[in-house]
Amino acid sequence: MSNNIISLSDTNIGDRVKVVEIAGGRKLTNRLMELGIMEGAILDIVNCGGGPLIIKVGNSRFALGQGVAKKIKVEKLGENVSIN
């Protein structure tokens, strides 16, 4: 694993990240999987201004609370990605 592993809540707007671990129970993990958020998934950070985190997964956007975002460990793949 890389030294770029951080929690999803520590990302910045425009970052592209890959999910490497979800440190939650079965219920949380299953719910995130229903949204397409699982190990290996690529996420784009749309907004992270202190409240809910807005992420883009494929063509969908989701809001995640900071508590959930802290349980998702990611690896940064790039910065300043164009979010359309």
3-state class of 67 per DSSP? helix
52 pLDDT higher than 60: yes
Q: pTM of the full predicted structure?
A: 0.88
What domains, with CATH codes, occur in the chain? 5-78 (2.30.30.90)
Task: Tell me the three state secondary structure of residue 2.
Answer: coil
Q: How many residues does the chain have?
A: 84
**What per-residue confidence (pLDDT) applies to 1?**
47
Q: Which amino acid type is present at position 50?
A: G
Strand order in the sheet with 53-57: 5-7, 72-78, 16-22, 42-47, 53-57, 60-64
Q: Count CB atoms within 10 A of the CB of residue 24.
A: 16
60-80 pLDDT, tens digit each: 999 999 999 999 999 999 876
pLDDT digits (tens, 9 = 90+) for 22-43: 998 999 999 999 999 999 999 9
